[in-house]
Structures are given as C-alpha cells and as structure tokens.
Amino acid sequence: MAGHIETIDFRGLPALRLSTAAGASAVLTLYGAQLVSWMPARSQERLYLSEQAICDGRSPIRGGVPVCFPQFAAEGGLPRHGFARTMSWSVIEQRAGDDFALATLALSDDSDTRAHWPHRFNLELTAAIEDGRLDIELAVHNRGQASFAFAAALHTYLRVTEVETCQLEGLYGFEYRDALDGNTLRRESGDVLRVESALDRIYHNVSRPLLLRDDGGALGIHAQGFPDVVVWNPWEDGLTRCTDMAPGDFRRMLCVEAAAVRERIDLPPEQSWVGRQTLVAL
Ligand code: TA6
C-alpha cells in the first residue's frame, strides 16, 4: 500500500496516523499538535509516551513531542510551557506519497489565548515522515500590528532501552544553564553525556547535530532555527512531580528538546519564524 494518512481515535483524542509504504508511521493528536508515536520503517517505537499519560483534552500529555509556546517551563506568568500544548489545533494539510507522509496543523489566537497573552499569531506544526526520518517543524507568524517575543520548544521525549547505558554525543564545549543548580552556567566538558542522575540543562547555541546511542538503535538529532538544546530526565526523585509516569519510567526516556529559550525570539508584525527538529534512525 502507498503512503497514507487516516483519522483515528487515540485514547479518546482525535488524531492522524501517518504511514509510508515501507512501514514507517507516526501519530499526531489534534489536541496540542502533539506527536505521540513515531516508528521508523523496519524499526521500533522511538518516542516515549507514558502509559499513565492523561488524555482528557485538558491536561498536558506526558510524552511524545509536546509543543511549548509562547513560554518555556515556568519562565513567565503563563501556564507551564505555555498554552499551545493544551489547545485543539486544526488540520490544514495532509499529503502522502510512496515514501513520505506529512500533515500540518494550525492554531491561531482567539479570545482565550488573548486573555493570557495579548498577541495575534498563527502557529503551524508540520510532522513529516520518510522511511527512517521524522521532521517536526514549528512556524510562528505574527499577524498583529506590534512585535511580540516568545519562547518555544519541541519537548521531544525519546524512548530509550535504559537511560543509564545510553550516550548522547555532540554537546562537548557548549555552554549550558543548569536548572537543577540555581541556573548556574557551565561548559560541557565530556565527549559523551551519560545520564546517571536527574538532569535539566539548557545548552546554548548548539550548532552541531547530536547522536544518541542506545541499545534500541542510534538516532541522529538535528535542529534548525532552534538555537538551544534542552536535555531533561527527572530521575526517581523528580517523578514525585510527574504523577502521570510509572515509577521506573525515568529509565525508559530522555528528553532532547529543540528550543529557543535562552533568548526569546522577537517577531515583528507580518513576519514569520520557523524552527525544525529532525530525527534520523541510524
Ligand atoms: O524541559 C525540561 C522541563 O522544563 C523540566 O524542568 C521538567 O519540568 C519538564 O520540562 C516537564 O515539564 P511538565 O510541565 O511537562 O511537567
């Protein structure tokens, strides 16, 4: 069968399932424009999604690729990570060929968003799969008459076999802000990042692709437009705050996020900004 896209019910939420002829697939919920599954062709699931994720159409979904906009974490007065991940988006495009499938969802300001954040915007989230590759693109358009500034992130939860044995390469030499140590600035000194305890770091101006080595398969991770990379694992202690994750699940995930956080993006009227994260199964 050729590549195709179907509308499905995902744990009670409307969603699109994208498939390619060779067997790659992805699931994108309209709620939050959140990818909740990505399976490259001839491979296994590469995104972590909590079995206990709350899919009630009001709460953030724990796992997949939440879209953070226009705020990151609690760095501002909006709900954590902004409002885009807890709103319903609309489908504006879906296309499939033999070796690809893509869908674009959109979200515009309305009276709800303007009550929190008084700006006129249009967001588009495009998820595109090829056999071994996933591209996630976020486009922000300012349709108002004044500039606005925003933070954004694709908060990608990668599924790993065992977080203590996986290795993240490519961050050597980059400065990072350590959110678990009073936002102290440090420089990465290891060739390889190993996760042996809780980690919450924002690496700045990361100009190289990253490589995640895991027993379940290696993954190339590349971003364009997003200058920062956030690496997060809550470990055991942090799970007390993540009540929608099973106790041992911190071992099954590592967030490697494409982000624009250190400096917010200033967007003049009628201008657009685009950021993309690409994952390649190796
Ligand atoms: O991206 C890392 C982070 O900001 C962490 O500090 C951690 O709290 C995580 O996001 C998850 O946030 P959430 O609001 O989804 O529980």
Contacts 24+ apart (CB under 8 A), 2-7: 2/96, 2/97, 2/98, 3/96, 3/97, 3/98, 3/99, 3/100, 3/101, 4/96, 4/101, 5/94, 5/95, 5/96, 5/101, 5/103
Name the residue of 48, 65, 72, 155 whose CB sits within 8 Å of the most ligand 1 atoms, as the mutation to test its pocket: 155
Q: Read off the pLDDT band of 2 (50, 70, 90).
A: confident
Position 241 pLDDT exceeds 90: no
pLDDT at 240: 82
> What pLDDT, on a 0 to 100 scale, did the predictor assign at position 239?
82
pTM exceeding 0.95? yes
Residue 249: pLDDT above 80? Answer: yes
Whole-angstrom distance, CA of residue 69 vs CA of residue 238? 23
What pLDDT was estimated at residue 273?
98
Residue 252 vs residues 52, 94, 260, 281: alpha-carbon distances, Å = 14, 31, 26, 17
Ligand 1 atom, smallest distance to 259 CA: 1
Closest-CA residue, ligand 1 atom 8, reads: 73
**Rounded mean pLDDT, 147-170:** 98
Confidence of residue 237 (pLDDT cuts 50, 70, 90): confident
The protein residue whose alpha carbon is closest to atom 3 in ligand 1 is: 73
Q: Tell me: pLDDT of 1 over 80.
A: no
Q: What are the strands of the beta sheet with 121-129, ordered from one edge?
A: 90-97, 100-108, 121-129, 133-142, 272-281, 219-224, 210-213, 167-169, 192-194
pLDDT of residue 216: 83
Query: Based on the structure, what is the number of domains in the chain?
Result: 1
Structural domain of 176: 4-281
Distance between CA atoms of residues 105 and 270, nearest Å: 20
Q: Is the CB of residue 228 below 6 angstroms from any atom belonging to ligand 1?
A: no
What lies within 8 Å, CB to CB, of 131 at 6+ separation is: 20, 22, 23, 24, 40, 41, 42, 99
Atom number of ligand 1 nearest to Cα 60 = 15
Q: What is the CATH number of the domain that holds 207?
A: 2.70.98.10
> What pLDDT is attached to residue 210?
98
Task: State whether the beta carbon of 200 lies less than 6 angstroms from ligand 1.
Answer: yes
173-227 pLDDT, tens per residue? 999 999 999 999 999 999 999 999 999 999 999 999 999 999 988 999 999 999 9
Tens of pLDDT, residues 72-107: 999 999 999 999 999 999 999 999 998 999 999 999
Say how many Å lie between the CA of residue 73 and the centre of ligand 1. 6
**pLDDT band (50, 70, 90) for residue 238:** confident
